[in-house]
């Protein structure tokens, strides 16, 4: 439900702060009031050609009781508002001109009739509006949350603070915007998330603890980073040991390797997620290969959106030099019975979410382990 404000063209939700501003502007701080009006009507102080808020100086000799004297509809703009301030202006209680200018305007207001009654006041307010507008913009300049609250980070050219955080995260170039989002179903990690963790991305040395904290904060589930996970690395034929003349890697005990692959422990880690509920468990499973982007978009938990986001966020944090896999731990009370189904979204998948047995589980299940190639 909405209630009308003093301006018929502006409406504020009942009980909102904006409604209170329209009714009792004298109780608000000037900066807070202007910021609320900006958010309420979608304008900024930079919109000088079609401003939604115009400022006037209060022509009075009395000591001001508040920063804002009045807030009324604009006669020239059906969607605008006029704010009369008491702390800044050419005339009035805080005016910079001699006091007789204020007295002269008060006398003209009492004695004249017709359109000339406010001519001098309106002429002075041309300068008062500009001064007050610049005063607000100076205050706004070093308060990064003002342009951020206008959601300027979603624009093609974000505000300076957002641009700085994106640069710290390594995504400052326009061509790198939204590179961690999947176009098919809009899954993945948004640039807004990267802003939140820009302090971690800015560090030259990326630690396992920072990775764990970032993932736990983003997904809100228990996560453990287990380093030094072994893996087989295939050797290029040119690097394999061969009993021929002038061949590399032939020194026993130094460079010779038996076979076509080697066991390596240094460049792989594991993300252990859980214990998880069944819904969380499905969210981090890879999507079944039978489901393409169009069909699994509405498949809910089987879409693998969590797995996609986890892989993208982890990869951009650790870089391309490390490999990792994911181990999902399902709570023992959430282990389902194996179900055969013709629908891929409902069927049990061997090695992933299918377990034999009818007795209640005595321990959490951690069989599901898979690599992510991002």
Domain-embedded: residue 170 = no
Residue 250 shares a structural domain with residue 278: no
Among 143, 170, 186, identify where a domain stops. 143
pLDDT digits (tens, 9 = 90+) for 159-188: 888 888 889 888 888 888 888 876 555 667
Asked if 353 and 285 touch (Cβ cutoff 8 Å), the reply is: yes
Residue 38 shares a structural domain with residue 16: yes
Domain count within the chain: 3
Domain-embedded: residue 87 = yes
Residue 365 shares a structural domain with residue 307: yes
Residue 277 shares a structural domain with residue 245: no
pTM above 0.75, yes or no: no
What residues make up the domain containing 49?
A: 2-143
Residue 259 shares a structural domain with residue 315: no
- Joined together, the tokens standing for residue 135 give 């005063």
SS3 223: strand
Domain-embedded: residue 159 = no
Among 143, 166, 188, identify where a domain stops. 143
Residue 135 has a pLDDT of 95
Reference 341, options 331, 330, 353, 359; nearest CA is: 353
Residue 332 shares a structural domain with residue 249: no
Residue 28 shares a structural domain with residue 137: yes
Which stretches does DSSP call E strand in 14-153? 53-57, 68-73, 81-85
Residue with tokens 């004695």: 111
Residue 271 shares a structural domain with residue 238: no
213 pLDDT tier (thresholds 50, 70, 90): very high
Among 120, 143, 166, identify where a domain stops. 143
Residue 19 shares a structural domain with residue 125: yes
Q: Is the pLDDT of residue 266 over 80?
A: yes
pLDDT digits (tens, 9 = 90+) for 226-263: 999 999 999 988 888 887 767 777 788 888 888 899 99
Domain-embedded: residue 276 = yes
Domain-embedded: residue 162 = no
78 pLDDT tier (thresholds 50, 70, 90): confident
């Amino acid at each position: 439900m909405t209630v009308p404000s003093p301006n018929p063209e502006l409406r504020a939700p009942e009980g909102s702060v904006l409604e209170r501003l329209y009714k009792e502007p004298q109780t608000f701080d000037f900066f807070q009031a202007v910021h609320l009006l900006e958010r309420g009507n979608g304008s900024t102080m930079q919109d000088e050609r079609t401003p939604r808020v115009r400022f006037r100086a209060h022509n009075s000799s009395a000591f001001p009781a508040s920063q804002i004297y009045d807030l009324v509809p604009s006669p020239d703009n059906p969607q605008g508002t006029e704010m009369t301030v008491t702390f800044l202006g050419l005339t009035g209680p805080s005016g910079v001109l001699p006091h007789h200018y204020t007295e002269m305007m008060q006398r003209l207001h009492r004695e004249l009739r017709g359109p000339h009654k406010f001519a001098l006041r309106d002429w002075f307010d041309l300068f008062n509006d500009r001064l007050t507008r610049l005063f607000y913009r100076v205050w706004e300049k070093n308060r990064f949350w003002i342009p951020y609250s206008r959601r300027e980070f979603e624009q093609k050219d974000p505000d300076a603070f957002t641009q700085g955080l994106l640069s710290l995260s390594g995504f400052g170039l326009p061509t790198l915007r939204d590179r961690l989002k999947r176009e098919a179903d809009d899954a993945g990690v948004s640039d807004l998330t990267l802003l939140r963790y820009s302090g971690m991305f800015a560090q030259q040395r990326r630690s396992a603890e920072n990775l764990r904290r970032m993932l736990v904060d983003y997904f809100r589930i228990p996560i453990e980073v287990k380093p030094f996970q072994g893996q087989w690395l295939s050797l290029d034929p040119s690097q394999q040991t061969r009993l021929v003349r002038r061949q590399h890697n032939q020194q026993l005990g130094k460079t010779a390797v038996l076979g076509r692959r080697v066991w390596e422990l240094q460049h792989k880690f594991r993300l252990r997620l859980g214990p998880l509920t069944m819904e969380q468990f499905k969210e981090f499973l890879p999507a079944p290969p039978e489901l393409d982007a169009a069909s699994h978009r509405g498949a809910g938990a089987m879409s693998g959106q969590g797995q996609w986001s986890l892989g993208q966020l982890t990869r951009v944090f650790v870089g391309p030099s490390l490999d990792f896999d994911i181990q999902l731990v399902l709570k023992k009370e959430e282990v389902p019975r194996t179900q055969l189904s013709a629908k891929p979204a409902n069927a049990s998948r061997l090695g992933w979410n299918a377990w034999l047995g009818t007795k209640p589980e005595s321990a959490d299940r951690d069989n599901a382990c898979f690599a992510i190639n991002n």
